[in-house]
Structures are given as C-alpha cells and as structure tokens.
Structure 1
Amino acid sequence: MKKTLNYLFLSIGLMTSSISYGQLQNGSTAPNFTLTDINGTTHTLYDYLDDGKTVYIDFFACHCPFCWNYHNTHALSDLYDTYGPGTVSNDVFVFAIELDPNNGTNEFYGISGTTQGNWVAGTNYPQINPEGAARNAIISDYAVNFYPLIYAICPDRTITEIGTKNVSQLYAHVSTCDNTSLGINEEEQQSFQVNQSESGISIQSDMDLSHSNASLMLTDIQGKQLVKKSFAANSEQIDIKELSKGIYFIQVTSGNQILFSQKIQL
C-alpha cells in the first residue's frame, strides 16, 4: 500500500508542479545527453540532430494513465515508423524516457509493479530508463514537471514543447526547422531556384549535376512519395495539376546527401 501511495503522490506532484514551473522555453537550446536504452544501446542526442533529424522526446512514467492513453494512440510509433530510420524521408527520431525512480524493466514489459501495461510491444523507437544522477540530470535539464511531456527538437538544437499531437501535427513541425541545419551546404542550397505556376514547378540549379546521380523527390506532408525522378540536367519539372491544395516538400539528393530541401504550398 505504501508503494502504491508513493506512486500516486509522485504522479500528483509532477502534474501539479507544472502549474508553478514552466518547461524549457520554446526556441531555447536543448541540452545534450548520452543515455542507454533498455536494450543496451547508447544514444547521444546531438548525434541525431547533427545527422539532420528532428528528434521527439516523450517523458513519461509506466504507471501514468495519461501517458498510457497517449501511448495507445500510436502517434509516436507511427511517426517513427513512417518518417524515421529506414524510411524515404528518414528525417525523424523518437525517444521515450521513463522518469519514475521506482520503475524498472519489469514495468516496461507490464510484468510487475505499478504499470499500465506492456509499453514495449509494438514500439520500435528507443525506450530509456535512466537511474540515479542521470535521471536527476535529465529531469533538471528538461524541466520535467508533469507527464506526459513531449518535446520536438530541430536539427539546429532549438526545442519546442509540442504536446500530445497526432502524427500529422507532429510531423508538420519538421517543416518549421531551419533547412540550413539539416546538414545541407548553404552554398548548394542557394544554388537552386524554384518557380511555381498553376500547372507545374520548375527547379533549376547553378551546379552541374550531370555526373552526380542526383534525384528529385516530391512528398506530401504525410511523407508519402509522390514523385521521384532523375535530376540529370540543370532543370527539372514537376507536374502538379492533379495535386490537391496543401503542403508538400521538394528534395534534391545525391546518394545520402541532401543538396536542396524546400517546403511548398499549393
């Protein structure tokens, strides 16, 4: 009974303390961390940001019913599976960080203790259970005062408290990040020009791409690839007559390198 009450008081304390203490200020710099997930893999935040990924962090507790409800929307799992490593866009990463000092691996798997269920089943992104000084540091660095607390961090390391959004709303944040922080050479980015008409989009480059094996890709806001074609000359066209109004993304790549990236509105 005492252990159950401790969980209850901790949850209430974390949730109510958010009234008095704010989270990290939107636009501030996210602190770096190096933590090991429950499968023994070590992750350093800035490595993913430097690789051009927008990183989402879910601070939660296994016993927290509000966290469990959001977990079961599968928004973060779907975000990771659709836009994370191995996908066409490959511009997103997700962490879940459990911060209750009483919870261990059993609680992640819903085996014992005070837990809402099996948090691991169907979850492909890393789940982390920091302990001791590491746990205290991450709580302090990220001003965690309630669960669940969801942050989005752009590749330029600026942080935003994004909240419990759906997949489309979560991924839309990627387009707000500065393209120059995506590992794109600024000179190369500026060498491309985009001209848009009612029927099509023209992309021109000052660079000679004839021997670069460059590709041009158009995706929608969901990350669905609509067009992929060779960019072998200095100019390419994309037909947009059949596209619905909305937000789309253009990328020119050469191998694993992004030469140009731009959001467009139809």
Structure 2
Amino acid sequence: MRFFFTIILSLALSLSSVAQVPLLSAPDFTVKDVDGNLHHLYDYLDAGNLVVIDFFTTNCGPCQTYASEISASFEHFGCNNSNVIYLGINWGSDNETVRQFDELWGAHYPSVSGLQGGGNGVVELYEVQSYPTVILIAPDRSVLNNHIWPPDQLTLNSEVTAAGGVSMICTVNSGNLSIKELPEIRVTNISPGNVSISLQNTINASQRLQVYSVDGRLVYNQSPENNATIISLRPGVYFASLLENGNRKHTLRFVVL
C-alpha cells in the first residue's frame, strides 16, 4: 500500500512540473476582446511592456476561483496603464458567455472569447495543455514563466515585480474619465471619491443598480429610487450594472478619481 501511494505521489509531482505552455519564445497574434478592442501582442512587447496572459475556459473551476485574484494583480499594476498588460484568452466560448463569466467571477482585465475573438487560435498556437494557464512574456518575446502557479495575487505580483513590472494606482487620464456613459447609464465624478450614476431611461420596480470593484466585490446593490444616485467610493476602477427582472442588461466600466 505504501508503495502504491508513493507511485501516485511521484506521478502527481511529475505531472505538476510539466510546462503548460511548451514554448520559449512567444509567437505573435492579434485578437479582439469582448468589447471590440483589438490587441496585438508584438505592439505591446515592442513598446517595452510585460504581458500576462490568462488562458481559461468558462466552465473550469480553478479558472473561476482565480479570476478575481488575477484581476487584483491587474489592478495592482495599473489596469494596463503601467508597463504590464493583462489579457484573458478563452477557449471554446462566445462573447456573451465570456462576458457572463467575467461579471460573475470578477475578471475585469480584457477578455477574448475563443469563438468570436480569436482565442481558440491563440490557444492552439501556444499549445496550451490545461486551464487555467497563466504565462508571463518579456518585451524581448521570451516566455519568462510558462505556468505561474498558483495564479493568485501574491504569486502574480511577485513574478511580475521580479520581471520589472511597475505598480501604479489603477486610474488613467482623468480628463478623459470624468464622465463615462452608455445610452442607458451615465457616471460622473462630481467630487473626489463621489460619483453620480444616472439612468437614462425610465426607472421601474424591476430594476436594480449594482456596482462592483475591479476585484469582483459587490460594493453597491440597490433598487434605484430616482434617475440619479450619488455613491461614495474609494479611488479605483469599478463596474456599474443595471439589472431588470434579475437579468443584467447593461454594464459600464468607470474610474473614481
């Protein structure tokens, strides 16, 4: 019996040591995230950035567990506004399914679906062997770490910092972010730490306004009583969602200054 368990343990250790992306140099790709933004890997690298890629599937338990951890690291390094770029590459799902995954599990870095954004092709190009696989790429296109495990905030921050990543507050040009809006939701920074969230359509009892922090924490959850709601929040990146009859209809990313 002891011999049997020794064999099982040895096998488990050997499997855990197998590289999840068996590449030393990162091949180029261009993909489109679920919001329609294009991401060209070599453009990021040629600009001197480190790139963190999270290869994931939407029905993978560990992918769900670590999504908010990766988001916390994404926020720690400036939400793609420092010298570190975070990108989620999905296998097998469409844009809407990936959006639902992101909202449910707190993945707020850019995500690319497998079926509509080009994710499946990148997964095949990188020969990904399991999920989640989180890798770190250097500006010279070398794969510095082909399987960061576990991909929690502490481990990711340590790996990225050691590679030269610079942490910064998760805000960008305040002149461009004082007001953010969709046809249905408008967010205005009215004073430091205070935002006004306005609903552009007629409110009704079936609606609910939710605000999430970038790491997936629900920080506001109320039925709107009028078209404008003032909320006090710490500086950072947030997501305002309008639900109707329990269904999420609209989500807007905004920054509190």
Q: When the two structures are superposed, what TM-score results if normalisation uses the length of structure 1? A: 0.49
Match of 2:71 in 1: 77
Match of 1:106 in 2: 96
Q: Is the 8 A contact 1:98 1:130 kept in 2?
A: yes
Q: Give matches, 1:1-266, under 5 Å.
A: 22-25=19-22, 28-71=24-67, 74-85=68-79, 90-100=82-92, 103-110=93-100, 118-120=101-103, 122-131=106-115, 134-159=118-143, 160=145, 161-177=147-163
Q: Is the 8 A contact 1:58 1:149 kept in 2?
A: yes
Q: How many equivalent pairs are there? A: 152
Distance in 2 separating the partners of 1:166 and 1:62: 18
Task: Report the CA distance shift for 1:126/1:86 in structure 2 as closer, same or farther (over 3 A).
Answer: closer
Give deviations 1:245-264, integer Å, cap 9, x for gaps.
xxxxxxxxxxxxxxxxxxxx
Task: Report the CA distance shift for 1:136/1:130 in structure 2 as closer, same or farther (over 3 A).
Answer: closer
Match of 1:206 in 2: none
Distance in 2 separating the partners of 1:51 and 1:82: 20
Q: Is the 8 A contact 1:83 1:223 kept in 2?
A: yes
SS state at 2:21 partner: coil
- How far apart are residue 42 of structure 1 and its match? 0.5
- How far apart are residue 124 of structure 1 and its match? 3.2
Give deviations 1:195-226, integer Å, cap 9, x for gaps.
xxxxxxxxxxxxxxxxxxxxxxxx8xx668xx
Q: Is the 8 A contact 2:52 2:85 kept in 1?
A: yes
Task: Report the CA distance shift for 1:48/1:105 in structure 2 as closer, same or farther (over 3 A).
Answer: same
Q: What letter matches 1:168 in structure 2?
A: L
Q: Is the 8 A contact 1:35 1:130 kept in 2?
A: no
Alignment RMSD, CA only?
A: 3.1
Alignment gaps of 5+ in structure 1: 1-17, 111-117, 183-218, 225-266
Distance in 2 separating the partners of 1:142 and 1:84: 26
Give deviations 1:5-47, integer Å, cap 9, x for gaps.
xxxxxxxxxxxxx78x743346x11111100001111000111
Give deviations 1:168-210, integer Å, cap 9, x for gaps.
3212223443x7xx9xxxxxxxxxxxxxxxxxxxxxxxxxxxx
Q: When the two structures are superposed, what TM-score results if normalisation uses the length of structure 2? A: 0.51
- How far apart are residue 52 of structure 1 and its match? 2.0
Q: Is the 8 A contact 2:31 2:117 kept in 1?
A: no
- How far apart are residue 59 of structure 1 and its match? 0.8
Q: Is the 8 A contact 1:23 1:142 kept in 2?
A: no
- How far apart are residue 136 of structure 1 and its match? 4.7
Q: Is the 8 A contact 2:88 2:112 kept in 1?
A: yes
Distance in 1 separating the partners of 2:34 and 2:119: 14
Alignment gaps of 5+ in structure 2: 1-14, 170-257
